[in-house]
């Protein structure tokens, strides 16, 4: 039985500055491209048979640099893996949002507000990642499945894998260019590694 290999895209201008980047389609910075190349050396050691990749350019380019669109891997773009739609908080940092709301703000407790896009609840994000997990689970019989996406959506996905509510994604920080694995312990879904770096 394989594992889910959960990969956050490499660094972008907004991830470096701490700005919330939902549907804004930013490219990787040069260090972000280096992140993708470092991931290649780790992922090529695994038996990855399938990959689901967010269609946003920062995730797609990371997956390309990491070698997931080559070597016989069945890789496909997966719209359900796009980042959380932050709505009116898009492009803002947590301190900027906290200043606007007049108290300490957290996505995990306070959610989003409408803006240029409607924003998204954690329950809506959970519905999306549950669909991804439903597609990925049967493929684990063949080997590992890579999921390349974004920080908050992958944190919700990790929480859902182990049976938690989406707000428990707060417990699973995942830095750019890092990865984790979701597998099993005695047939129970388990977090087997998290926020691991690359040599």
Given the residues 33, 78, 83, 120, the one annotated as active site: 83
- In 3D space, the residue among 38, 78, 80 whose CA is nearest the CA of residue 60 turns out to be 78
State how far the Cα of 10 lies from the Cα of 39, in Å rounded to an integer.
9
* Residue 161: other Cβ atoms inside 10 A: 20
Token pair 């999921």 is at which residue? 147
Residues spanned by the domain of 96: 4-196
Annotation says 9 is catalytic: yes
Query: Dihedral sign, CA of 123, 1, 78, 63?
Result: positive
- Per DSSP bridges, beta strands 48-53 and 188-196 are unpaired
Annotation says 83 is catalytic: yes
On the question of pLDDT at 15 being above 80, the answer is yes
Q: What is the pLDDT of residues 145-190, one digit of tens each?
A: 999 999 999 999 999 999 999 999 999 999 999 999 999 999 899 9
pLDDT band at 67 (very low <50, low <70, confident <90, very high): very high
Q: What is the pLDDT of residues 68-86, one digit of tens each?
A: 999 899 999 999 999 999 9
Domains identified in the chain, total number: 1
Q: The domain spanning residue 170 has which CATH number?
A: 3.40.50.1240
Q: What is the pLDDT of residues 101-151, one digit of tens each?
A: 999 999 999 999 999 999 999 999 999 999 999 999 999 999 999 999 999
């Amino acid at each position: 039985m394989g594992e889910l290999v959960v990969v956050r895209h490499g660094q972008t201008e907004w991830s470096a500055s701490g700005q919330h980047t939902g549907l804004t389609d930013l490219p990787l910075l040069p260090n972000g491209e280096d992140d993708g190349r470092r991931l290649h050396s780790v992922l090529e050691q695994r038996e990855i048979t399938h990959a689901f990749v967010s269609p946003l350019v920062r995730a797609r380019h990371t997956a390309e640099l990491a070698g997931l669109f080559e070597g016989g891997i069945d890789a496909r773009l997966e719209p359900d893996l796009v980042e959380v739609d932050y709505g009116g908080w898009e492009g803002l940092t947590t301190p900027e949002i906290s200043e606007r709301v007049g108290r300490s703000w957290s996505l995990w407790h306070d959610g989003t507000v409408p803006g240029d896009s409607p924003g998204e609840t954690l329950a809506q994000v959970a519905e999306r990642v549950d669909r991804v997990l439903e597609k990925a689970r049967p493929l684990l019989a063949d080997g590992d499945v890579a999921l390349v996406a974004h920080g908050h959506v992958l944190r919700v996905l990790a929480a859902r894998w182990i049976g938690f509510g989406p707000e428990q994604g707060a417990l699973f920080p995942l830095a750019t260019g890092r990865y984790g694995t979701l597998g099993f312990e005695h047939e129970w879904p388990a977090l087997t590694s998290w926020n691991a770096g690359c040599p």
